[in-house]
Amino acid sequence: DQQVKQNSPSLSVQEGRISILNCDYTNSMFDYFLWYKKYPAEGPTFLISISSIKDKNEDGRFTVFLNKSAKHLSLHIVPSQPGDSAVYFCAASERRSSGTYKYIFGTGTRLKVLA
Amino acid sequence: NAGVTQTPKFRILKIGQSMTLQCAQDMNHNYMYWYRQDPGMGLKLIYYSVGAGITDKGEVPNGYNVSRSTTEDFPLRLELAAPSQTSVYFCASSYTGGTYNEQFFGPGTRLTVL
């Protein structure tokens, strides 16, 4: 049962345009969401996050939007650059019974920005 | 800071062989994690550790063992390799285990079991 879903395996966008990556989740108890970016042969690196008490968080060209009623979040990249070409993972944070938190990762979306 | 380092980068094993994937971090993080990523799938947590001497199972622990004798090192042991363990393995660390625990990942080990 996939609690965090990224339904688009891939996305191509022209340089300078907006990239929108989507993520859906099923567990209303998730209270923190993150986006990670992964280049080939490297580990994922943290990009941006949002708490469930907010609906938007912005960091330079990257903005994450959270719609709790729809259980949906999206990552906007404006303007897109060729260096943004990577796989993007959405992750949600879930509290364990021990009190620590674990991440549930989506399957990733491969973004290709065309020059 | 080197961050999170993993060795080896690549390895091919025969069915039934054993090996240890090494992971080290120099950020003095208490929490460390092992994930695996299968093609077209997200990262699945194998084991995690909240500090030296303390480990616990994640979502997919079967076929693996871990130990955490120091804060810096968190090796992952495969005892009897099976084709189902063909995957890319990522080690990660974080300062805390709370909600806002940004995890730092190593570059991964690509393992093939034939």
Q: For residue B101, list chain A residues with Cβ-Cβ distance below 8 A.
A: 93, 101
Query: pLDDT digits over A66-97, tens only?
Result: 999 999 999 999 999 999 999 999 999 888 88
Decide if B91 contacts B27 (C-beta within 8 A): no
How many helices (H) and strands (E) chain B has is answered by 0, 11
In chain A, % of residues over pLDDT 90: 85
| Residue ranges for chain B with pLDDT beneath 70 | 99
The pLDDT value given to residue B87? 97
**Residue of A93, A104, A95, A98 whose CA lies nearest to B51:** A98
Identity of the amino acid at B109: T
CATH class of A4-114: mainly beta
Write down the domain spans for chain A: 4-114
Domain count, chain B: 1
CATH number, residue B107? 2.60.40.10
Predicted confidence at residue B41, as pLDDT, reads 86
Looking at the partner chain, which of B43, B50, B99 has a beta carbon nearest the beta carbon of A93? B99
Q: Do B40 and A49 touch (CB under 8 A)?
A: no
Chain B: closest CA distance from residue A37 (Å): 11
Residue B108, domain extent: 4-113
Q: What is the pLDDT of residues A89-112, one digit of tens each?
A: 999 988 888 888 888 999 999 999
How many Å apart are CA B47 and CA B30, to the nearest integer?
Answer: 14
Contacts of A106 in chain B (CB under 8 A): 42
